[in-house]
Amino acid sequence: MTTRRAQDPRRSTPRSLGERSDSAVATPALWSERADMAESAIVSRHLRALWALPGTELGVVGWPATKRERAFGSWHYWWQAHLIDCAVDAANRMPTPVRRKRIAAIARSHRLRNLTGWTNRYYDDMAWLAIALERAERTAGVTEARSGLIALERPLYEGFNPVVGALPWRIGSDYYNAPANGPAAIALLRLGRHGRAQEMADWLDATLRDPETGLILDGIHLPAGEIERPVFSYCQGVVLGVETELAMHTGEPRHGERVHRLLAAVEEHLTTKGIVSGGGGGDGGLFNGILARYLAVVALMLPGEDKEQENDRRVAAEIVRASATAAWANRLEVEGEPLFGHDWSKPATLPGGIAGAGRFTAGGSVTSSRVPERDLSVQLSGWMLMEAAYLVSAAGL
């Protein structure tokens, strides 16, 4: 295995990460090439047939992998949903029969490995899979996704508690949070349930928006009303996404106003020199990639021609470009393919062995590997970011 710190051939002298020189010269073709390389790294390091069954593929959750991981004794439902979503990104950017076949294979394998079919007890998990399958069917023509959407739409719609105005985190829970309601609102909106999506967006803004920072907090325990106050980047991403799409579908001013307010809060509190700050492994490895995905949605889809909307689209695109430039500059190249860091502003670290493999906590979340770059989640975020950078670049933003 050969490893080296990658140097961008377009950068002949060292520059600070805050400078945008690479962003200025990076064309859509260059971002597409980088997204291709991110995809190739996932395919070669992580994709494997499920239990040696023909026509199957799933993502092994760590690299280097344990024997249990290679046998899919360990797998994480919502990570695989984002693997499908990234595969859809690549197929939309440059359609090929291989890419379309891969989407169908991962979706089929997801259902098989889940053992209980498409659904589980967690509304956030089901929402992420619904988003990925809806895009697979609508934009990539993967007809195999239809049965999954039928199975997932019902619990996401019927699980809504009209007294609260939101979905619980999981079936039977008294905890209502942004990680479930944000992606579920996006999924239901794209499935034509505009009224329900709007109810959920209104609940998120009224209940979980921090009046001091403007950021979206994690969730609330009912009936006690105790709010969990951690701020996660992906919660900001999904709220930006659903509010942007509601602004486009409904034309109601409050949705665009919320995007403006939340985007300003993200720029102030969650970026450094224009780059999305921090990052981790385990489940947290996906958080910044999800924010980047929905910042690209803001950049491409936020309606309005006033200076405020134009500036919001520009700011969202700039955060994506600056973050992608930093992540690419700080990657490792391992046998010619990129390995992204968990913190895009710092050099990536090569995982050594399998120590500290991510495991489930009592609360159901997945811990980071000792070296977060080992986790599929971290590498999926890097791929998501490259695809987002391609989209904003191709749109001339």
Question: How do residues 99-134 score in pLDDT, each as one tens digit?
Answer: 999 999 999 999 999 999 999 999 999 999 999 999
pLDDT of residue 184: 98
Of 257, 259, 254, which Cα lies nearest the Cα of 244? 259
Question: How do residues 275-306 score in pLDDT, each as one tens digit?
Answer: 999 999 999 999 999 999 999 999 999 999 99
Question: How do residues 323-377 score in pLDDT, each as one tens digit?
Answer: 999 999 999 999 999 999 999 999 999 998 766 666 766 666 788 999 999 999 9
Which of 15-29, 218-232, 315-329 is least confident? 15-29
What is the domain partition of the chain in residue ranges?
48-159, 192-222+231-347+363-396
pLDDT of residue 18: 36
Concatenated DSSP letters for 242-288?
HHHHHHHHH--HHHHHHHHHHHHHHHHHSEETTEEP---SGGGGGHH
Between CA 224 and CA 312 the distance in angstroms is 37
Query: Quick one: pLDDT band at residue 15, thresholds 50, 70, 90?
Result: very low
Query: What are the backbone angles phi and psi of residue 376, rounded to the nearest 5°?
Result: -50, -35
pLDDT of residue 353: 72
Strands laid side by side in the 337-339 sheet: 3-5, 332-334, 337-339
pLDDT of residue 357: 65
Confidence (pTM): 0.93
Query: Quick one: pLDDT band at residue 7, thresholds 50, 70, 90?
Result: very low
Between CA 232 and CA 241 the distance in angstroms is 15
H or E stretch covering 184: helix 178-190
Of 31, 34, 30, which Cα lies nearest the Cα of 338? 34
Average pLDDT (169-187) is 97
pLDDT of residue 154: 97
Query: What does the mean pLDDT of the chain come to?
Result: 92
Of 199, 194, 195, 119, which Cα lies nearest the Cα of 167? 199
Average pLDDT (246-265) is 97
pLDDT exceeds 60 at position 181: yes
pLDDT exceeds 70 at position 6: no
H or E stretch covering 48: strand 47-48
CATH number for region 192-222+231-347+363-396: 1.50.10.20
